[in-house]
Amino acid sequence: MSLPHPNLDQISLPNVLSVLGDQTRLAIVGYLACNEGVAVSCGQFSDFGSKTNLSYHLAKLREAGITHTEVAGTSRLISLRRADLDSRFPGLLDSIITAAQELPALERLRDEA
Amino acid sequence: MSLPHPNLDQISLPNVLSVLGDQTRLAIVGYLACNEGVAVSCGQFSDFGSKTNLSYHLAKLREAGITHTEVAGTSRLISLRRADLDSRFPGLLDSIITAAQELPALERLRDEA
DNA sequence: TCCTTAGTTCAAAATATGTTGAACTATTGA
DNA sequence: TCAATAGTTCAACATATTTTGAACTAAGGA
């Protein structure tokens, strides 16, 4: 079973920006950016919201073309669609990720560690 | 009389992104970017919406710290807060403006000209 | 097989956002 | 002074988004 992902030309700027214009989703993206190459599953975002709520936000990110979600047993492995976003909107993701590192949700997470 | 504008540290990433995550406001920003140095007043956005509606969107852009609005007689002169945005979120505005040039509203405008 | 774990779906409720027209203010030019 | 112009404000309405809990599915381990 595989989840639906938009292809490159279906990724739209207004949609990407409005989906990223949310604290929770921005925190998720910031976290993913700090953990590229590492397998990240939904449970790791539990600081950012309830299970149900995360399911909703992660679906939004996937449907906007920002993340890729791979089904692995009972887990989902989530990653940034970095190459796709870079090719569609050069420089956008990097500038957002850099700025997002200052967000309270991510700073809190780092303080705990 | 002068309108309220947020100062640098009051400009927040989630807010900037969510305000820009809207076709009309993105078109306004794209238009402003193409006309930097030129005095732009509200009336020039009439292709993008009704007078009332533009007043609403322009207020959102100003309140988010994306634009500066100067009162000049019965007009308002609107400009991008480019330097402020560049210093707060390096690279962000440029990447958005570049990508925004493909938006239908702006392409239509160029076709007419 | 049965239980647990990981995550989804659904419907309801709460909240936020966008759009409209009518009435308004403030400035300018005749 | 008067009328026109540029834009704002307000209240109402429509629509979209977020959040929640309860019920669900599907895989994995004992």
Q: What is the pLDDT of residues B15-37, one digit of tens each?
A: 999 999 999 999 999 999 999 98
Which residues of chain B make contact with A94, given a CB cutoff of 8 A?
91
Provide the shortest C-alpha distance from residue A21 to chain B (in Å): 4
Instruction: Determine the 3-state secondary structure of A76 from DSSP.
Output: strand
- A98 interfacial to chain B (CB closer than 8 Å): yes
Residue B38 CA to C11 C1' — how many Å?
A: 52
User: Mean per-residue pLDDT for B38-61?
Assistant: 97
Which residues of chain A make contact with B92, given a CB cutoff of 8 A?
92, 95-96, 99
- pLDDT digit string (tens) for chain A, length 113 residues: 479 999 999 999 999 999 999 999 999 999 999 999 899 999 999 999 999 999 999 999 999 999 999 999 999 999 999 999 999 999 999 999 999 999 999 999 888 76
How far apart are alpha carbons B100 and B90 in whole angstroms? 17
Q: What is the pLDDT of residues A47-69, one digit of tens each?
A: 999 999 999 999 999 999 999 99
Integer CA distances (angstroms), B74 to A43, A59, B1, B77, in order: 55, 46, 11, 10
Q: Residues near B105 by Cβ (< 8 Å), separated by ≥ 6?
A: B23, B24, B27, B30, B47, B48
How far apart are alpha carbons A54 and B17 in whole angstroms? 20
User: Mean per-residue pLDDT for B81-108?
Assistant: 96
Q: Residues near B21 by Cβ (< 8 Å), separated by ≥ 6?
A: A14, A15, A16, A17, A18, A19, A20, A21
Burial-class residue B72 by CB neighbours within 10 Å (0-12, 13-18, 19+). Answer: exposed
